[in-house]
Amino acid sequence: MLENVVTFAFDILSFTSVMVLIVLGLGVIASMMGIFNFAHGEFVLLGGYTAFLTQDAGLNPWWGIVLAPLIVGLIGLLLERSVIQKFYATPIIAMLGTYAIGLVIREIIRSLLGGHYKSVSEPWPGFFTVGRLDFSIWRTLIIAITVSVIIVSWLLLTKTAIGLRIRGSLENPMLARACGISTGQLYALTFAYGSALAGLAGALIVPLYQLSADMGLRFLVQGFLSVMLGGVGTFEGPVVGAAAVGALAASLPWLVLPVLADPLVFLIALAFVKVRPQGFVGKGRT
Amino acid sequence: MLNRSSAPRFGILPIVEAVTLAGILLAPFALWSRPELITLATNVLILALLGISFDLCWGYSGIMSFGQALFFGVAGYVVALVGRDLDFSPISGALPLAALSGLLLALAFAGFLLLGRKKPTNIFIALGTLTGSYAAERLVSGWQYVGAGNGLSAVKLLQIGPIQMVEGVPFYFLALVTLLVCYCGSRLLVRSQFGLVLAGIRQNEERLTFLGYRVQIYKTIIFSLAGMIAGIAGMLFTYHQGYIGPGNMGPGLSTTAVLYCLFGGAGTLIGPVLGTATIEVVSYILADIDRMKQIWPIILGIVLLAVVVFKPTGILGFFVSDRERIGSYGIRGGKQRRTKP
Amino acid sequence: MSQEYATQRQSGGVTRRRFLTGASALASAGWVAGSAGGWLLRPERASAATPIKVGIATDITGALAPFGNANWQVAQFVVTEINQQGNILGQPIELRLEDTASDPKVAIGNVRKLIQEYRADVVLGGITSAMRQAIKDPIVNRGRTLYIYPQLYEGQECTKHLYCTGPTPAQQCDELIPYLIKKQGRKRFAMPSANYVWPQLLNKYARKVIEAHGGEVVFEEYYPLDQPEYSATIAKIRVGKVDCVFNTIIPPGLQPFVKQLYESGFQRDGGMISCLYYDENLLNYHPAQEMDGLFSCLDYFQSIKDPFSEGLQERYNKMFPGTKYLFTAGVASTGMYRGIKFYEAAVKATNGDLSREAVSAAIDKATLASGPGGGAQMVPGKMHCKMNMYVARCKAEGNKTHYDIIGKYDMVDPKEC
């Protein structure tokens, strides 16, 4: 009995940590600039694709994990400087614009993949045994990496000077600018950071879920809901939201028919947001 | 500030509409010997309805709906199921059924999203429609009764009187008539006093609320009507194609509708029709050229991006002045009236 | 999948696979990129006779791309051989390919092109039953064209003018399951399945056979085609002490499932898997060790040593050297071979009359003396054919797989319709 509980908890945890990584990036961008980045799923895809390319090039797969956030962060930065900063004034147009960007990225990768599904192997395959239970090494690593990323990000936000400036811009952009903080630079940095997180998430997930051009779409709607559920405007909000959605998605199939579980997660989340628009941990701009 | 002398004497839009109408009427005769092109043209007309449905939401009322395909798909599933389980497919029953499905579902959805104590943000509406569309797609993907991930095929043929409709010229004219009716109906609506309120909502929602209008009610009404039109489109699509699946219900098709509308020109009703025609025809032509086939979706994405960033008014924006897009209202609206842009 | 939103295509268009391997072979065999579209195999010899138009509708892209590409290559192989040996009564065969992209929504539009634009005399293709259900209406009803379906499936397809040349549940389960229960001592079965018609009807049949021989079905569950998480399933397998997993999950959900099952130590602890479409081609989806010990029952395996089959393989490999799409049974290529050969025999019997009624009547009685794994005989009036069946077990050798034949059963009756 205890075995089942432990396995269940581990499964939820590993599934959720993937969501958290993705949602963290999305939430950071939404909180900071007020736009929902519809291309976020495609940044995850780019991260996965980078991992695939490093494998294809014969390099050690760990390079994929390292390169993915760097490359995707860079791409995010370039996009932000060129196109995305035009959207900050109008969030709805931002959704359309980022959707278009996502479409372009997705179709480019689709043509590069030739419409096929590709397998990427885990840098550290296999499982380790504790007592009578087997735990996948890679999934454990994902949990570990996610936790570290959260801690590092939190430390960055609260303990560093730049973190202070970011929090200032979050709370009151006008005042921040008046104080001489270059919000433009911070936005660029934030967007790059969010994209890098997505890229990392992609590289981590792709050994589990296979690479295909439509990989990113799966996470997009869940990601948005998590952000809204958790509350836009804070750091903890998206994390809590992702944890909630992840837990819901992993546990519902045990309670109801799997057929219903999938859509039910979304409807429950949506209903919650409707009732409490500021989310779990909401404050700041909505 | 516009004054009379700078405004054009005649409108471009009616000309565009007339030309399009002529083109649509003549097409089957020009394409008589190419049945696959008639099929393509019919598809264009049906999808144009979906584009119009989105235009009513976004172009006229400022509701960003990423979920129009939800009503499209649900109506399609309803008629397919009715054909399969009840062996029923005469148009006298199927058309009202589809329209009603679209209408009621959209009404319920609008009620959930728009009405309530707190005013919903635009982001919430956009995400809410997206989520609804996605959740519905996941639901039917898993539900065996409606064919799960593989959808419903071999749909019972639509019957008009004693005739069973398959792809071809008769179906083309059915789609044509439906499009005309819906188009004229929508046009009347958006040029009426109701449409004037919608224009106000689109321009400045807060001001209109302060003037005493129950803005959310108006939005609900137009959203429901748009849902009804999407439902009718879904019904035609299902009977024409002989198939309906989760992919016809989800964010993919919804965002395609957005693309059709934005590309052609939002807020003009004829814009989505032209946008749909252009995109679908080019897709079809390029489908057979191997190299282009891979690049075309990329080009489409770039085009959409360009439209969003540089020319939000779409293709028609090149021809139609802003003045005319905003339009004139009321029964005496034939002449240009002095209204503030 | 697909079944994600914003699926591969919006409407009316599809990515065509580039032929990276065997391109030179194709060019020498007379391939041209069709002007009207698709890939056209024009017959080599200039001939005054109008060609026989054969349409192939299979998954070149998408989750089932390895299956579809194998089908397509085999079709080219068979038709090239027929044309080289003098065509069918002097009429060369012309092939046109349309990609069904593992997505019924897209497939319908493309198949319609085969009928309306290309006016094919016969269409072969479809892999999953869902695809067959989607495209059979445009082909058989609206298109009034002959349709041959080459893949193993769940049976009960008795539509007129639709012939099935792949194995049926009776052919696959009637020997395999008793073997697993009696000779391998398996008693507790799990049925993780993809949520569509093939697993549903197949499981019904398999359950009957299992229970008739004293086995027990511990659970039977259905998942969306693209489900990536199977921890709940694997937990149920462990808790229920399942000793044989009768798998009907298909790509794209297949790879995560098999990987997660393998990593949970199921095979290491003595569990066995059986999957009815597994053959040598599945290396395109998994590393070899994840398939080690798996049981399958098909109409052909490459390890069968009969001269005709070996000759076929040799000539196929010469035409497509180094290809990763092998001529195997689980991916419908043997069914494709049979389908085209049956069509050839039927047209010879009707003396060149290509009308659907005539050819259909002739196929109904057709027989093939030889083929991969043995010949085949259409059962008159039953739309299905008898063929040899083999039960085999997969053995991984390094990063290759090899199927050891355990039993051979001659001319098994399909027991359909």
- Chain C nearest-CA residue for B35: C116
Q: Which residue has the higher pLDDT, C32 or A72?
A: A72
Instruction: For residue C245, name the pLDDT band (cuts at 50, 70, 90).
Output: very high
- Taking the Cβ of residue C32 and every Cβ of chain B, the question of whether any pair is shorter than 8 Å is answered with no
Would you say residue C191 lies in a domain? yes
Rounded (10°) angle between helices B270-287 and B12-30: 40
C226: chain A residues, CB-CB within 8 Å: 218
pLDDT at C8: 35
Q: Calculate mean pLDDT across residues C197-203.
A: 90
Tell me how close the Cα of C11 comes to any Cα of chain A, in angstroms: 15
Contact of C142 with B155, CB cutoff 8 Å: no
Do C58 and C100 sit in the same domain of this protein? yes
Do C214 and C363 sit in the same domain of this protein? no
Identify the sign of the CA torsion B301, B305, B311, B313. positive
What six digits make up the tokens of B194?
């109701």
For C394-417, how does the pLDDT look when each residue is reduced to its tens digit (9 = 90+)? Answer: 988 888 888 999 989 988 888 888
Do C327 and C224 sit in the same domain of this protein? no
Do C147 and C180 sit in the same domain of this protein? no
pLDDT at C44: 56
Total domain count, chain A? 1
Give kind and range of the element (H or E) at residue A67. helix A61-82
Q: What is the ipTM of this complex?
A: 0.84
Classify burial at C140, counting beta carbons within 10 Å of its beta carbon; exposed 0-12, middle 13-18, buried 19 or more.
buried
Nearest to B122 among A92, A101, A277 (CB): A92
Would you say residue A261 lies in a domain? yes
The chains in contact with chain A, meaning 3 or more Cβ pairs closer than 8 Å, are B, C
- Taking the Cβ of residue A152 and every Cβ of chain B, the question of whether any pair is shorter than 8 Å is answered with no
Q: Calculate mean pLDDT across residues C145-167.
A: 91
Tell me how close the Cα of B147 comes to any Cα of chain C, in angstroms: 7
Interacting residues of A159 by C-beta distance below 8 A, sequence separation 6+: none
Would you say residue A264 lies in a domain? yes
Instruction: For residue C165, name the pLDDT band (cuts at 50, 70, 90).
Output: very high
Instruction: For residue B326, name the pLDDT band (cuts at 50, 70, 90).
Output: low
Instruction: For residue C206, name the pLDDT band (cuts at 50, 70, 90).
Output: very high
For B285-308, how does the pLDDT look when each residue is reduced to its tens digit (9 = 90+)? Answer: 887 776 777 788 888 888 888 888
Would you say residue C417 lies in a domain? no
For C209-240, how does the pLDDT look when each residue is reduced to its tens digit (9 = 90+)? Answer: 999 999 999 999 888 887 877 877 888 888 88
Instruction: For residue B252, name the pLDDT band (cuts at 50, 70, 90).
Output: confident
Which residues of chain A fall below pLDDT 70? 1, 258, 282-286
Check whether B262 has a pLDDT greater than 80: yes
Give which of A147, A151, A145, A185 is closest to A165, Cα–Cα. Answer: A185
Give kind and range of the element (H or E) at residue B128. helix B122-142
Structural domain containing residue A221: 216-286
Q: Calculate mean pLDDT across residues C42-67.
A: 80
Instruction: For residue C45, name the pLDDT band (cuts at 50, 70, 90).
Output: low
Q: Tell me which DSSP letter residue A118 carries.
A: B
Count the neighbouring beta carbons within 10 Å of the beta carbon of residue B324.
19
Q: Interface of chain C against chain A, CB under 8 Å?
A: 1-2, 4-8, 15, 17-18, 60-63, 65, 101, 195, 221-224, 226, 228-229, 231-232, 235, 239, 251-252, 255-256, 259-260, 263-265, 285-287
Would you say residue C82 lies in a domain? yes
What does the mean pLDDT of chain B come to? 85
State in Å, rounded, how far the first CA of chain B is from the last one: 8
Would you say residue A263 lies in a domain? yes
What six digits make up the tokens of B208?
């209109």
pLDDT at C25: 38
Q: Which residue has the higher pLDDT, A278 or B231?
A: B231
Contact of C380 with C365, CB cutoff 8 Å: yes
Classify burial at C227, counting beta carbons within 10 Å of its beta carbon; exposed 0-12, middle 13-18, buried 19 or more.
buried
Q: Which residues is C221 bridged to in the sheet?
A: C192
pLDDT at C222: 86
What are the C-alpha distances in Å from A171 to residues A182, A229, A230, A233, B87? 14, 19, 17, 8, 61
Q: Do B284 and C12 touch (CB under 8 A)?
A: yes
- Taking the Cβ of residue A230 and every Cβ of chain B, the question of whether any pair is shorter than 8 Å is answered with no
Would you say residue A96 lies in a domain? no
Do C17 and C99 sit in the same domain of this protein? yes
Instruction: For residue B114, name the pLDDT band (cuts at 50, 70, 90).
Output: confident
pLDDT at B329: 65
For B121-157, how does the pLDDT look when each residue is reduced to its tens digit (9 = 90+)? Answer: 888 888 889 889 989 998 888 788 888 778 888 888 8
- Chain C nearest-CA residue for A218: C4
Structural domain containing residue C82: 1-167+306-383
Do C174 and C98 sit in the same domain of this protein? no
What's the CATH code of the domain at C279? 3.40.50.2300
Check whether C119 has a pLDDT greater than 50: yes
Instruction: For residue B95, name the pLDDT band (cuts at 50, 70, 90).
Output: very high
Place of tokens 């700041």: A284
What six digits make up the tokens of C11?
């409407």
The chains in contact with chain C, meaning 3 or more Cβ pairs closer than 8 Å, are A, B
At residue B164, the 3 state secondary structure works out as: strand
Q: Calculate mean pLDDT across residues C154-160.
A: 89
Q: Do A104 and B301 touch (CB under 8 A)?
A: yes
B312: chain A residues, CB-CB within 8 Å: 93
For B14-58, how does the pLDDT look when each residue is reduced to its tens digit (9 = 90+)? Answer: 888 888 899 989 888 888 888 888 999 999 999 999 999 999 998
Q: Do B150 and C18 touch (CB under 8 A)?
A: no
Tell me how close the Cα of A207 comes to any Cα of chain B, in angstroms: 24
Q: Calculate mean pLDDT across residues C359-384.
A: 90
φ, ψ of residue A83 in degrees (nearest 5): -115, -50
Domain ranges of chain B: 11-250
Instruction: For residue B330, name the pLDDT band (cuts at 50, 70, 90).
Output: low
Q: Calculate mean pLDDT across residues B3-8.
A: 47
For B158-196, how does the pLDDT look when each residue is reduced to its tens digit (9 = 90+)? Answer: 888 888 888 888 899 999 999 999 999 999 998 888 988
Would you say residue A100 lies in a domain? no
pLDDT at C48: 57
pLDDT at C28: 41
Tell me, what amino acid is at A151? I
Q: Do C142 and B149 touch (CB under 8 A)?
A: no
Nearest to C62 among A115, A210, A259 (CB): A115
Check whether C181 has a pLDDT greater than 80: yes
Do C272 and C314 sit in the same domain of this protein? no
A102: chain B residues, CB-CB within 8 Å: 301
Total domain count, chain C? 2
Query: What is the Cα–Cα distance from B223 to B104, expressed in whole angstroms?
Result: 11
Check whether B5 has a pLDDT greater than 60: no
Tell me how close the Cα of B314 comes to any Cα of chain A, in angstroms: 14
Would you say residue A223 lies in a domain? yes
- Taking the Cβ of residue B80 and every Cβ of chain C, the question of whether any pair is shorter than 8 Å is answered with no
Query: What is the Cα–Cα distance from B335 to B104, expressed in whole angstroms?
Result: 37
- Taking the Cβ of residue A95 and every Cβ of chain B, the question of whether any pair is shorter than 8 Å is answered with yes
Do C286 and C402 sit in the same domain of this protein? yes
Query: What is the Cα–Cα distance from A94 to A98, expressed in whole angstroms?
Result: 6
Check whether C36 has a pLDDT greater than 60: no
State in Å, rounded, how far the first CA of chain C is from the last one: 32
Do C163 and C173 sit in the same domain of this protein? no
- Taking a contact as any Cβ pair under 8 Å apart, which residues of chain B between 17 and 46 contact chain C? 34-36, 39-40, 43
- Taking the Cβ of residue B304 and every Cβ of chain A, the question of whether any pair is shorter than 8 Å is answered with yes
Q: Do A258 and C264 touch (CB under 8 A)?
A: no
Report the predicted TM-score, pTM, of the whole model to 2 decimal places.
0.85
Three-state SS string over chain C comes to CCCCCCCCCCCCCCCCCCCCCCHHHHHHCCEEECCCCCEEECCCCCCCCCCEEEEEEECCCCCCHHHHHHHHHHHHHHHHHHHHCCCECCECEEEEEEECCCCHHHHHHHHHHHHHCCCCCEEEECCCHHHHHHHHHHHHHHCCCEEEECCCCCCCCCCCCEEECCCCHHHHHHHHHHHHHHHCCCCEEEEEEECCHHHHHHHHHHHHHHHHCCCEEEEEEEECCCCCCCHHHHHHHHHCCCCEEECECCCCCHHHHHHHHHHCCCCCCCCEEECCCCCHHHHHCCCHHHHCCCEEEECCCCCCCCHHHHHHHHHHHHHCCCCCCCCCCCCCHHHHHHHHHHHHHHHHHCCCCCCHHHHHHHHHCCEECCCCCCCEEECCCCCCEEEEEEEEEEEEECCEEEEEEEEEEEEECCCCC
Q: Calculate mean pLDDT across residues C183-200.
A: 90
pLDDT at C213: 92
Q: Do C224 and B138 touch (CB under 8 A)?
A: yes
